[in-house]
């Protein structure tokens, strides 16, 4: 059972997210990752194994210790695709402007992938979750909440979801169906 945490505020986001993931470690997981939107940049760190491993990889980007911003993080319990770094969350859309973390299963992900491939998109992971970032990017017309809602309308399955975007740097959009979210 995966864990999700999001943070927005004045503190450096990455250390808060990593501390949050540590508190969720009891849930069991195979990999972990985080994304932070700060200074007009999408920072992403992922790792197979424990949160301590993620923390070590994040340490290679020292600016992450200081950057205040908006971020999301995830511990993954793989259901679709091997436990691997490319399959760890967050997943970004092709342009790298949208990042999502997802708990649950997207039952119609293959159909959605096929549809998005016909529009020219290419994918980077084997997960059912990645398609959500692409659907949000595809629906985006300036409003992250509306784009996320449009993406969710196309999904069958369950989700706890958190979304950030370079284009809306102060926002985290969250949604749930069949999974809990606490704000
Ligand atoms: N189904 C997704 C995956 O395999 C999410 C798994 C989870 O809830 O951690 O990446």
Q: What separation in Å is there between the alpha carbon of 10 and the centre of ligand 1?
A: 30
DSSP secondary structure letters along 22-84: HHTGGG--SEEEEEEEETTEEEEEEEES-HHHHHHHHTTSGGGGT-EEEEEEEEE--SSS-SS
Q: In the predicted model, what is the mean pLDDT of the chain? A: 96
Residues 179 and 57: their CA atoms lie apart, in Å, by: 29
Q: How far apart are the first and last CA of the chain?
A: 19
Could you write out the three-class secondary structure of 105-138? CECCHHHHHHHHHHCCCCCCCCCCCHHHHHHHHH
Q: What separation in Å is there between the alpha carbon of 156 and the centre of ligand 1?
A: 14
From the CB of 90, is ligand 1 less than 6 Å away? no
Question: Which residue out of 31, 80, 179 has the highest number of ligand 1 atoms within 8 Å of its CB and is therefore the one to mutate?
Answer: 80
| pLDDT of 120 above 80 | yes
Assess contact for 64 and 45: CB atoms under 8 A: yes
Q: How many CB atoms lie within 10 A of CB 107?
A: 12
Tens digits of residue pLDDT in 11-57 = 999 999 999 999 999 989 999 999 999 999 999 999 999 999 999 99
Q: What separation in Å is there between the alpha carbon of 102 and the centre of ligand 1?
A: 6
Tens digits of residue pLDDT in 137-162 = 999 999 999 999 999 999 999 999 99
From atom 8 of ligand 1, which residue's Cα is the shortest distance away? 103
Among 69, 66, 52, CA closest to 10:
69
DSSP code, position 90: P
Mean pLDDT, to the nearest integer, of 85-103?
98
Q: What separation in Å is there between the alpha carbon of 76 and the centre of ligand 1?
A: 6
Res 180: pLDDT = 81
């Amino acid at each position: 059972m995966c864990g999700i945490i999001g943070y927005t505020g004045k503190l450096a986001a990455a250390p808060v997210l990593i501390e949050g993931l540590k508190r969720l470690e009891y849930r069991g997981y195979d990999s972990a990752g985080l994304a932070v939107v700060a200074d007009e940049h999408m920072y992403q760190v992922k790792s197979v194994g424990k949160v301590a491993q993620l923390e070590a990889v994040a340490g290679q980007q020292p600016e992450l210790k200081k950057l205040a911003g908006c971020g999301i993080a995830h511990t993954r319990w793989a259901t679709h695709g091997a436990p691997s770094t490319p399959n760890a969350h967050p997943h970004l859309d092709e342009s790298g402007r949208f990042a999502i973390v997802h708990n649950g299963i997207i039952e119609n992900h293959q159909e959605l992938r096929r549809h998005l491939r016909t529009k020219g998109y290419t994918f980077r992971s084997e997960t059912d979750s990645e398609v959500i970032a692409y659907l949000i990017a595809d629906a985006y017309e300036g409003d992250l909440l509306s784009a996320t809602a449009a993406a969710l309308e196309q999904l069958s399955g369950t989700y706890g979801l958190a979304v950030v975007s370079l284009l809306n740097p102060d926002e985290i959009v969250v949604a749930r169906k069949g999974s809990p979210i606490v704000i």
